Amino acid sequence: MASSTTALVITIATIAAFHFSSPSHAADFCIADLKGAQGPAGYSCKNPANVTVHDFVFAGLGVAGNTSNTINAAVTPAFSTQFPGLNGLGLALARVDIAPGGVIPFHIHPAASEVFHVLQGKVISGLVDASNKVYLTTLKKGDIMVFPRGLLHFQVNSGKSTAIIIASFSGAEPGLQLIDYALFANELPSELLEKSTFLDHVQVKKLKGVFGGSG
Amino acid sequence: MASSTTALVITIATIAAFHFSSPSHAADFCIADLKGAQGPAGYSCKNPANVTVHDFVFAGLGVAGNTSNTINAAVTPAFSTQFPGLNGLGLALARVDIAPGGVIPFHIHPAASEVFHVLQGKVISGLVDASNKVYLTTLKKGDIMVFPRGLLHFQVNSGKSTAIIIASFSGAEPGLQLIDYALFANELPSELLEKSTFLDHVQVKKLKGVFGGSG
Amino acid sequence: MASSTTALVITIATIAAFHFSSPSHAADFCIADLKGAQGPAGYSCKNPANVTVHDFVFAGLGVAGNTSNTINAAVTPAFSTQFPGLNGLGLALARVDIAPGGVIPFHIHPAASEVFHVLQGKVISGLVDASNKVYLTTLKKGDIMVFPRGLLHFQVNSGKSTAIIIASFSGAEPGLQLIDYALFANELPSELLEKSTFLDHVQVKKLKGVFGGSG
Amino acid sequence: MASSTTALVITIATIAAFHFSSPSHAADFCIADLKGAQGPAGYSCKNPANVTVHDFVFAGLGVAGNTSNTINAAVTPAFSTQFPGLNGLGLALARVDIAPGGVIPFHIHPAASEVFHVLQGKVISGLVDASNKVYLTTLKKGDIMVFPRGLLHFQVNSGKSTAIIIASFSGAEPGLQLIDYALFANELPSELLEKSTFLDHVQVKKLKGVFGGSG
Amino acid sequence: MASSTTALVITIATIAAFHFSSPSHAADFCIADLKGAQGPAGYSCKNPANVTVHDFVFAGLGVAGNTSNTINAAVTPAFSTQFPGLNGLGLALARVDIAPGGVIPFHIHPAASEVFHVLQGKVISGLVDASNKVYLTTLKKGDIMVFPRGLLHFQVNSGKSTAIIIASFSGAEPGLQLIDYALFANELPSELLEKSTFLDHVQVKKLKGVFGGSG
Amino acid sequence: MASSTTALVITIATIAAFHFSSPSHAADFCIADLKGAQGPAGYSCKNPANVTVHDFVFAGLGVAGNTSNTINAAVTPAFSTQFPGLNGLGLALARVDIAPGGVIPFHIHPAASEVFHVLQGKVISGLVDASNKVYLTTLKKGDIMVFPRGLLHFQVNSGKSTAIIIASFSGAEPGLQLIDYALFANELPSELLEKSTFLDHVQVKKLKGVFGGSG
């Protein structure tokens, strides 16, 4: 093999010359340029020449969210807006902390399916499908549950300690619409809200007060 | 031109012989075989040899829905399950009739965006985005409004006559999840429902009674 | 429940603080910025901060098109270029008016499937698939017909009054290629046109004259 | 390195045991089972256990098509129906032979874009876009031309020898609709055809005769 | 409000009657029928009538994999084949255990991008893009790193304790091709292997022995 | 027919006025503006007003690549970066020249499936799937072989003359990762490389020297 080795060594320059030139990384990745234009497929790409390993790494999920609020829960997103390396790759994560007694109220993700993975604690988890059938279970450490895109679901901490969950999503910007906030945190006139939800006037006024809405 | 005509006439058989044989219509269409297997992309295809013009036509939207119910509204779907010709084509329709005082309560379509087109009447239409911002307007005959996939929206008839709407969807099976039914029409235990919605116990019990739920 | 109510009221600020911040609406929608760059997925997004309900509404389909032309028909599009709220959502509409004796000549939509919905009148509708099989029927008010993407179809008003149709498409920019215009409205040399269509020279010259072509 | 080598050798069985078991090749490929059900995404998959190298290879493009017909051209497809290994992979090929004086008349591919690559000969190639603008050029050996999905195009052999072309498509079943055949090879009634194309009665009758149509 | 309440209570049956009937869950989900046909989009759907909450839950990731092998690592997949609820949803997970000194050798996922999340331990993680640029970093607990689809990457445990990782993928069947196994675990003739990798004969024979290959 | 002809002639202006105005070609094509922003779906579009037939044509595949290098092979790409007309169309081509004794070493295409078409010569072609099964064959002129996206494959010229191949890809920027270059052409530290590939230190140093790497 020596002769071939020599041949190989001699032709280093030739080897180096032969390589498929790929100046554009459009096929590899498109790190989000958060200051650039957005389109339906995501953010514009950061200049590949300026991409470093730091564009592929995100540390935010290691920090516990602050659950000192009414719902005793916190969500820490790692979507493409927080983690530009995810742009266009069809994937996102989020950390969910639910303190004892806490809850992630009924919500949907408009743009992605979700897998909910319990790292610590015990969580009652519910999913309702479009035929109104409810799927209810208690998840423990190591369990995962899938919520198909666009369907209502919620979680309640049923244990004595904080539950920690990692949620994975099938899109870089899954979105999140919490029903309570969508209904009660804005200025949608109460009369319309009552008509469109069948909720009582007293209930609507109360929750508008709670969630910061008006009208 | 006579000579070329003659040449053409003589070679009828040859012309007939030359044609790109396309025994499979996988590229053209895939009329749903409602009895066959379903996959993530839709129904299996009906045998192309048995396809007739009737597979491409659907008459159901010409009939007014029965609005004699509590919400004074009716939805008549033309999804792939009702109209097999739509299978795999990324499109569906539905007719919506809302009688005076009627409403289509808050709902989402998990799998498609929607364009709502008022053919007759006047409708108050509301959309809430994932930042909880509400977009409210009154639509009259000829107006269309778009509801991006997975976001909450509702409509209320604000006129004195029945409103008739045609909804178009960007998927063959858009799905529909009405919040009232998803929350109150099943057996999800009241305690969990209260916790996951912040609704009062009295409200939950009442609406479970109204929408046929239990627990 | 009073204590919880009080607790809820007291913690309004906390509730307000807890909400998933979604500064980017990349998941929700991407209203077209008609002045910005276009990419294969559509237009760039308008700044979400400037989005109002008017971006989700379009009124143009309520106006009858002007059918005083040779084909006695008019098409009024509501594609993303006319209705920026559709950008990236996989959906578009158009209004079609066909006066008595009028026609929408053979055409295709390169980028979308279509559902053709007759609101008024009677229309002969024809579809030809890739095996050259023809599907022909007469549509009346309330009927819908689907034309799978990229296949030739046409409509003729077979009634005594103007036919009004709403067409829905499975893409925000479906495109439209009318065969007569594609063949006869440009400067493609007649000799080539005759060779590539088998049409007679006299026919080609005549229709080039009719449709504004040359060569 | 001897010790690590020994360690590696000793643990052959262990190495062999560790491997990610992938019994399902759903991720790798889905060779078409031509006898099985079809869905919108393609054919069902052949049992992976029965897949051999022959499923990945196709020899048909090496044979010249028979151009002894009226248009003096032949198309030899390698779509998923002919080459099952392409199923679901978004790619197909076809060989085109055009004898001197021959033509591939105006046609579209409903389901895919095409790249047309001249291997031998000289070809006049034309594309018409949806604004009716025509793009015309002469292609020689080695040239490629792209025809975006769903747009009308044609080719004419402008040389003295047979032109050989390989066409690549962005879908496993691109489809092919030749305008002449779509219009004149079926039983669409002449009156309707004249109305929907603006062609003269004489022309329609003549070409129906030529292309094997009736009515 | 009493009168409306009464009206609502009285009309329970009517309410129950009004609901959008969605017998088909094609839009909601398509739990894999592992015994049924597979297509390019995934498995056929299990009968929705037989779907229970257990179809949405998977417990396998809570169990540590057995790392007593040569690479001192284990991968426990939760792909659609293991977790049928994921079918068609564009998402999958896997648990990775790497003992001290262990490694996940260079590999790719043909069908999905990956986010690698360290739950415990310290891992050196490397990614190589298509321009051959290498991105290298050390990940600690809470860090996530993204590997765009189809690019080579590897991980090495650089700590003193077992590293536990959860990998999320942007497809239900991401696939996994470990380079060492792809090259050395089969019967590809050594001569060809040497030619196609530039590896020395001695190296090829040795690793074929290690990884269970022949030829 | 004379009267209708006259009527048609007279109304030329009217005909010309009636046509669907499509100022935007977003549906037709999006020729890459190589200087503009890139997004996950491709390049921004060139101004349609400036598009000519030259944007749809590419001549580079007619020129033999320079195979005077160590691997005795050359790849000439026609991806969207080289051929802007392909932008967003899901298709790309490349020419491959392999001199006698030459090889395209083991590689993958992260973003597309490939069809490999032998125009001249004889080529040994191998594909390895994710279960490590190898598919090996010899291809002759006219044969095509498909390599599903993301799987390892290689080719060796087994004939006495230069082999010429045209590769078609199911994406406009397929990417190319040659394993030898990915492993040995950068500065990945040898110790890590040995650990992540099980290659001997001597082998790693040698090939780093050959392929221009360091560390």
| DSSP letter (8 states) at residue D64 | P
pLDDT at residue number D27: 63
Task: Strand D123-128: give its sheet, edge to edge.
Answer: D134-139, D123-128, D153-157, D103-108, D177-178
Cα dihedral D180/D181/D185/D189 (nearest 10): -60
Is residue D19 within 8 angstroms of chain E, CB to CB? yes
> What's the pLDDT tens digit per position in C182-200?
999 999 999 999 999 999 9
Contact E156, E184 (CB under 8 A): no
pTM of the predicted protein model: 0.91
Higher pLDDT, F81 or D4: F81
| DSSP letter (8 states) at residue A126 | E
pLDDT at residue number E1: 33
- A74 pLDDT more than 80: yes
> What's the pLDDT tens digit per position in F3-24?
333 333 333 333 333 444 334 3
Hey, CA dihedral for B158, B164, B169, B173, is it positive or negative? positive
Read off the pLDDT of each residue in F59-64 and give the average, rounded to a whole number: 95
| DSSP letter (8 states) at residue F155 | E
**Number of neighbours of residue A54 by Cβ within 10 angstroms:** 11
What distance in Å separates the CA atoms of residue C29 and residue C55, rounded to the nearest whole number?
11
Tell which residue, A3, E188, E198, D2, has the closest CA to residue F183: E198
pLDDT at residue number E9: 32
Is residue F41 within 8 angstroms of chain D, CB to CB? no
SS3 B110: coil
> Which chains contact C through at least 3 pairs of Cβ atoms less than 8 Å apart?
A, B, D, F
Give C68's contacts in chain F (Cβ within 8 Å).
14
Cα angle B8, B14, B19 (rounded to 5 degrees) comes to 110
> What's the pLDDT tens digit per position in F171-210?
999 999 999 999 999 999 999 999 999 999 999 999 999 9
Contact C89, C55 (CB under 8 A): no
pLDDT at residue number A70: 79
Tell which residue, D21, A114, D23, has the closest CA to residue E75: D21
What distance in Å separates the CA atoms of residue A198 and residue A215, rounded to the nearest whole number?
17
Q: How many residues does chain B have?
A: 215
Hey, CA dihedral for B107, B109, B110, B115, is it positive or negative? negative
Q: Where are the alpha helices (DSSP H) in chain D?
A: 2-10, 12-17, 179-184, 190-197, 201-211
What distance in Å separates the CA atoms of residue D179 and residue D109, rounded to the nearest whole number?
11
pLDDT at residue number F70: 79
Task: Name the B residues in 138-157 with CB < 8 Å from any A CB.
Answer: 148-152, 154, 156
E190-197 and E201-211 helices, crossing angle to 10°: 120
Strands D134-139 and D163-169: unpaired
The residues facing C135 across adjacent strands are: C127
Contact D126, D154 (CB under 8 A): yes
User: Considering CB atoms only, which of E129, E186, E207 is closest to F128?
Assistant: E186
Instruction: Give the residue on D whose Cα is nearest the Cα of B24.
Output: D81
User: Considering CB atoms only, which of C26, C87, C89 is closest to A42?
Assistant: C26
pLDDT at residue number C27: 62
- C11 pLDDT more than 70: no
Identify from E33, E67, E69, E207 which residue to disrupt to test chain D contact, counting D C-beta atoms within 10 A and taking the largest count: E69
What distance in Å separates the CA atoms of residue D8 and residue C208, rounded to the nearest whole number?
78
User: Considering CB atoms only, which of A148, A149, A154 is closest to B196?
Assistant: A154
> What's the pLDDT tens digit per position in F90-117?
999 999 999 999 999 999 999 999 999 9
pLDDT > 90 in chain D, percent: 86
> Which chains contact E through at least 3 pairs of Cβ atoms less than 8 Å apart?
A, B, D, F
Q: How many residues does chain C have?
A: 215
pLDDT at residue number E14: 34
- C22 pLDDT more than 60: no
Listed as ranges, residues in chain E with pLDDT below 50 are 1-26
Q: For the residues of F71-105, what is the DSSP string, one character each?
A: T-EEEEEESTTT-GGGTTSS-EEEEEEE-TT-EEE
pLDDT at residue number C116: 98
Interchain proximity D89–F113, CB inside 8 Å:
yes
Read off the pLDDT of each residue in F66-72 and give the average, rounded to a whole number: 91
For the record, the structure tokens of D38 come out as 């079809």
User: Considering CB atoms only, which of C28, C59, C136 is closest to B129?
Assistant: C28
For the record, the structure tokens of E169 come out as 């993928």
pLDDT at residue number F12: 32
- A165 pLDDT more than 90: yes
Q: How confident is the model at residue F27 (pLDDT cuts 50, 70, 90)?
A: low
pLDDT at residue number F81: 96
SS3 E214: coil
Read off the pLDDT of each residue in A57-71 and give the average, rounded to a whole number: 94
Is residue C100 within 8 angstroms of chain D, CB to CB? no
Read off the pLDDT of each residue in D107-113 and give the average, rounded to a whole number: 96
Contact B132, B55 (CB under 8 A): no
Q: Return the minimum-mean-pLDDT range out of A69-73, C90-94, C163-167, E191-195.
A: A69-73
**Number of neighbours of residue A101 by Cβ within 10 angstroms:** 15
Contact C52, F44 (CB under 8 A): no
Q: How confident is the model at residue A28 (pLDDT cuts 50, 70, 90)?
A: confident
Instruction: Give the residue on C whose Cα is nearest the Cα of F23.
Output: C81
pLDDT at residue number E27: 62
> Which chains contact F through at least 3 pairs of Cβ atoms less than 8 Å apart?
A, C, D, E
ipTM score: 0.89
Per-residue pLDDT of chain B (215 residues; tens, 9 = 90+): 333 333 333 333 333 334 443 343 446 899 999 999 999 999 999 999 999 999 999 999 999 999 998 789 999 999 999 999 999 999 999 999 999 999 999 999 999 999 999 999 999 999 999 999 999 999 999 999 999 999 999 999 999 999 999 999 999 999 999 999 999 999 999 999 999 999 999 999 999 999 999 99
Q: What is the CA radius of gyration of chain E?
A: 24
For the record, the structure tokens of C63 come out as 């106006």
What distance in Å separates the CA atoms of residue F138 and residue F117, rounded to the nearest whole number?
12
- C164 pLDDT more than 70: yes
Q: B186: Cβ–Cβ under 8 A, 6 or more apart, which residues?
A: A128, A132, A133, A134, B213, B214, B215
Characterize C172-194 residue by residue with b for buried, 16 or more Cβ atoms within 10 angstroms of its Cβ, and e for exposed. Answer: bbbbbbbbbbbbbbbebebebbb
